[in-house]
């Protein structure tokens, strides 16, 4: 710890423990009065101590600072800012509000916090949210090391911390359900499934009241802090509990060889639009933190949530970089998925920058070198940058993979050429960058949209429970209900749905790129057709673990495919399957060898992957037609074809352990309607 300065110092921002107390620093260019508020308890309405800052001695440039003796880790605090309330000029100071510290490393959200009351100017609301002084060094990481798994050997599982274990069927003790500690108990399951990285929906502290009346913001895309772990996800409700419990989770994941990727929201905050609450940024320096319209009283809304963070403002750029460094250096996370990342490419007017400063800051920061960076390369304002996102090291959620695979497997015309490109890592999209196939993060489903079960069970969304008249959520779902809308007791319909689920999972796990599986898809989790369950903190959004037994065949299917993707014993170089395929010779076919049908009316595709150095072949066959098709097989002198996968067969024949694949004798292979098959051959076997 450094020796303190009597009036405090402007660096570092936020609270910093020193000998005998803590230094506090905050940026505000336009504030005329600044007070630091110290609280004794989370539910306190009023501070126990107020420290008024003297601008003559405790303001350096636009940074207000103070050293406060006696402050220790766990101290609750907030800021109060005086200044103009002049929305027409973009200023919204409100001295009645206690404000969260943008650099606070902890947050408490007291019982009685009221989002609506916090939206009224000049009125002190109920007990405010409060920041927490923490000592990041007070934790024993033991021998923790990041796995640093190569992208080619990564299988991502997109999960929700609360949803993963909140359901009574999770088997987790009641006190730990829906928490970081509860998720630790599911690590053996994830490892057994073949998962190498967990991508967690937002864990930054967020406003759960940012939702329609009577509902809860469940997903967490409503941040109030970019440093503090969400306190409600901690089984330890002491002020320092969330940080330590989250670190326990990361440490436990790493011991299992699993990386932790965070879904981060640097595009907007929970303060919403002009009628939203004043929780922090708005009351500290509104025009610096947010993009404003020409009418400065209004907020630009490229996020679809009411406001847009001014990401390329120097102060906000620094905030984002400092936040990312904190989560890497102090919390040991392995990567980030940037929600609506294209917003970070917009300038002060909302125009797209050719070289966005904040994105290059992130890309070139040595503290982030080797960290996985994944962009959701679009935003709610219509910007779509899949294949053209700025930078050299970014991976991208490949929304076109999702759409094209859905089109092909539901039998849409004109989809064969597109799905062929997606299978090979989408060179049509990414080839111009001369990047590895793993720039593409491949997924058929994610949190935003139908689950896999619902993708094959509903042709229309069912979002009435969200209270928005079924107007919310996407309409371009490209789903197919397999003949019956919603749940069905018809064995034929159910068998087709199960087959389609396996088709989606096999294409996702066998295509070049980084595969991503949505939480519960391996056991056909349903949301009852709701494709926008952001406000469903109930059994709609939670994972029902009883489905694991009901759909054990699908779980087994995923487990064996994920295991084969990770196996590295296919040749002398000990490469994994995707690395080998990338180097292979590939020949395309239709139902006749060497004659692919690329026409708009085609619904079938086959291709052979030949690994000459390893004397191995793979032959993939895909039939999205409503009748069975016979596919000619390539000649195989000196070798025998063995059936590895056939999604039309019952378990355990649908996928077999590689070494136990049965020999298939014949010059053609029949692929049933809506099915995928794969054959393998080792010469001399």
What does the pLDDT read at residue 611?
A: 80
Please choose, from the candidates 509, 515, 495, 498, the residue with its C-alpha nearest in 3D space to the C-alpha of residue 558: 509
Residues 298, 301, 479, CA angle at the centre, nearest 5°? 150
pLDDT of residue 570: 44
How many Å apart are CA 241 and CA 25, to the nearest integer?
Answer: 24
Compute CA distances 495 → 190, 266, 489, 501, 655, whole Å: 26, 42, 10, 10, 16
The domains of the chain, with CATH numbers, are 14-132 (2.60.40.10), 151-566 (3.20.20.80), 584-682 (2.60.40.1180)
pLDDT at 577: 57
Tokens describing residue 92: 């919204």
**For residue 581, what pLDDT is reported?**
64
Write down the pLDDT at residue 2.
56
User: What pLDDT does 685 receive?
Assistant: 44
Question: How far are the Cα atoms of 585, 608, 631, 637, 679 from residue 616, in angstroms, in the given order?
Answer: 11, 11, 20, 12, 11
In which region does residue 157 sit, left (phi positive, over 0), alpha (psi from -120 to 50) or beta (all else)?
Answer: beta
Task: Tell me if residue 659 falls in helix, strand or coil.
Answer: helix
Helices (H) and strands (E) counted in the chain, each on its own, are 15, 26
Show the 3-state SS of 465-502.
HHCCCCCCCCCCCCCCCCCCCCCCCCHHHHHHHHHHHH
Range in 269-273, 390-394, 651-655 the model is least confident about: 390-394
Say yes or no to pLDDT of 615 above 80.
Answer: no
CA–CA separation, 129 and 43 (whole Å):
9
Give phi and psi for 203, each to the nearest 5: -115, 0
Q: Tell me how far apart the alpha carbons of residues 675 and 492 are, in angstroms, rounded to a whole number.
A: 14
Q: What is the pLDDT of residues 281-338, one digit of tens each?
A: 999 999 999 999 999 999 999 999 999 999 999 999 999 999 999 999 999 999 999 9
Q: Is the pLDDT of residue 421 over 50?
A: yes
The predicted-structure confidence for 328-379, as pLDDT tens digits, reads as follows 999 999 999 999 999 999 998 889 999 999 999 999 999 999 999 999 999 9
Over its C-alpha atoms, the chain yields an Rg (Å, rounded) of 27
Q: Are 570 and 194 in contact (CB under 8 A)?
A: no
The token pair that represents 75 in the structure block: 């101290």
Q: Which residue has the higher pLDDT, 5 or 573?
A: 5
Average pLDDT, the chain: 94
Residues whose CB falls within 8 Å of the CB of residue 523, separated by 6 or more in sequence, listed in order: 545, 547, 548, 550, 551, 554, 555
SS (H, E, C) 382-403: CCECCCCCCCCCCEEECHHHHH
Instruction: For residue 567, give both structure tokens.
Output: 């196996």
Residue 620's Cβ-count burial label (10 Å; 0-12, 13-18, 19+) is buried
Confidence of residue 659 (pLDDT cuts 50, 70, 90): confident
pLDDT for residue 583: 66
- Position 25 pLDDT exceeds 80: yes
Over residues 475-491, the mean pLDDT reads 98
DSSP letters for 549-603: HHTHHHHHHHHHHHHHHH---SSTT---HHHHHHTSEEEEESSBTTB---STT--
Q: Which comes out higher in pLDDT, residue 27 or 563?
A: 27
State the helix-helix crossing angle for 491-510 and 399-409, rounded to 10 degrees. Answer: 140
User: 22-36, 296-310, 579-593, 667-681 — which is least confidently predicted?
Assistant: 579-593
- Helix extents (H) in 94-179: 161-165
The pLDDT-based confidence of 636 (bands split at 50, 70, 90) is confident
User: d(Cα 94, Cα 87) in Å, to the nearest integer?
Assistant: 11
| Band of residue 102 on the pLDDT scale cut at 50, 70, 90 | very high
**Catalytic site positions:** 339, 376
Residue 575, pLDDT > 60, answer no
Lowest mean pLDDT among 148-162, 319-333, 519-533, 560-574: 560-574
Whether 518 and 447 have beta carbons less than 8 Å apart is answered as yes
Q: Is the pLDDT of residue 572 over 90?
A: no
The pLDDT of residue 3 is above 90 = no
Whether 502 contacts 560, CB under 8 Å: no
Cα distances (Å, whole numbers) of residue 672 to 610, 625, 681: 25, 9, 22
Joined tokens for residue 374:
């994944």
Weakest-pLDDT range from 160-169, 312-321, 536-545, 606-615: 606-615
pTM of the model: 0.96
Q: Is the pLDDT of residue 582 over 60?
A: yes
């Amino acid at each position: 710890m450094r020796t303190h300065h009597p009036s405090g110092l402007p660096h570092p921002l936020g609270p910093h423990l020193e000998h005998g107390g803590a230094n506090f620093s905050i940026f505000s260019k336009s504030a005329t009065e600044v007070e630091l508020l110290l609280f004794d308890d989370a539910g306190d309405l009023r501070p126990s101590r107020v420290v008024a800052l003297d601008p003559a001695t405790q303001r350096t440039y636009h940074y207000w600072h103070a050293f406060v003796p006696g402050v220790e880790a766990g101290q609750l605090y907030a800021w109060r800012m005086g200044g103009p309330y002049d929305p027409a000029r973009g200023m919204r100071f409100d001295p009645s509000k206690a404000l969260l510290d943008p650099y606070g490393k902890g947050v408490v959200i007291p019982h009685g916090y009221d989002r609506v009351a916090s939206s009224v100017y000049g009125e002190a609301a109920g007990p405010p949210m409060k920041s927490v002084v923490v000592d990041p060094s007070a934790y024993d990481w033991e021998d923790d090391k990041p796995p640093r798994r190569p992208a080619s050997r990564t299988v991502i599982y997109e999960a929700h911390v609360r949803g993963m274990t909140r359901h009574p069927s999770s088997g987790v003790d009641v006190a730990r359900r829906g928490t970081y500690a509860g998720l630790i108990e599911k690590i053996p399951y994830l490892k057994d499934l073949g998962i190498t990285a967990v991508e967690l929906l937002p864990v930054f502290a967020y406003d759960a009241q940012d939702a329609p009346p009577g509902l809860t913001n469940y997903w967490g895309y409503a941040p109030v802090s970019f440093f503090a772990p969400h306190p409600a996800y901690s089984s330890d409700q002491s002020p320092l509990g969330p940080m330590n419990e989250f670190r326990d989770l990361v440490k436990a994941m790493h011991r299992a060889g699993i990386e932790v990727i965070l879904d981060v929201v640097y595009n907007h905050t929970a303060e919403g639009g002009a009628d939203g609450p004043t929780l922090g940024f708005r009351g500290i320096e509104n025009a610096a933190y947010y993009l404003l319209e020409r009418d400065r009283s209004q907020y630009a809304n490229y996020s679809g949530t009411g406001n847009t963070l001014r990401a390329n403002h120097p102060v906000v750029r620094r905030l984002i970089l400092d936040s990312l460094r904190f989560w890497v250096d102090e919390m040991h996370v392995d990567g980030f998925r940037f929600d609506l990342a294209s917003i970070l490419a917009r300038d002060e007017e909302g125009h797209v920058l050719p070289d966005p400063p904040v994105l290059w800051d992130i890309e070139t920061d040595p503290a982030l070198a080797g960290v996985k960076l994944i962009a959701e390369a679009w935003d709610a304002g219509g910007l779509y940058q899949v294949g053209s996102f700025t930078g050299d090291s970014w991976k991208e959620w490949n929304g076109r993979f999702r759409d094209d695979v859905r089109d092909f497997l539901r039998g849409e015309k004109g989809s064969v050429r597109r799905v062929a490109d997606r299978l090979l890592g989408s060179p049509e999209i990414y080839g111009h960058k001369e990047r590895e196939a793993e720039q593409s993060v491949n997924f058929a489903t994610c949190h935003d949209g139908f689950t896999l079960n619902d993708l094959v069970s509903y042709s229309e969304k069912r979002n009435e429970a969200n209270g928005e008249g079924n107007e919310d959520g996407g309409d371009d779902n490209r789903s197919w209900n397999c003949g019956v809308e919603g749940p069905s007791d018809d064995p034929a319909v159910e068998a087709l749905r199960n087959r389609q689920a396996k088709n989606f999972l096999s294409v996702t796990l066998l295509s070049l790129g980084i595969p991503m599986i949505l939480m519960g898809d391996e056991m056909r989790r349903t949301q009852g057709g709701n494709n926008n369950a952001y406000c469903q903190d109930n059994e709609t959004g939670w994972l029902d673990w009883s489905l694991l037994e009901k759909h054990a065949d699908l779980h087994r299917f995923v487990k064996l495919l994920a295991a084969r993707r990770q196996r590295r014993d296919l040749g002398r170089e000990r490469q994994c399957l995707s690395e080998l395929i990338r180097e292979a010779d590939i020949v395309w076919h239709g139902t006749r060898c060497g004659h692919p049908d690329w026409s708009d009316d085609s619904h079938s595709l086959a291709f052979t992957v030949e690994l000459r150095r390893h004397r191995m072949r793979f032959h993939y066959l895909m039939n999205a037609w409503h009748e069975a098709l016979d596919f000619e097989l390539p000649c195989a002198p000196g070798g025998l074809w063995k059936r590895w996968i056939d999604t039309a067969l019952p378990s355990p024949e649908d996928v077999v352990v590689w070494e136990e694949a049965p020999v298939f004798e014949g010059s053609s292979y029949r692929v049933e309607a809506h099915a995928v098959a794969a054959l393998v051959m080792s010469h001399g076997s």
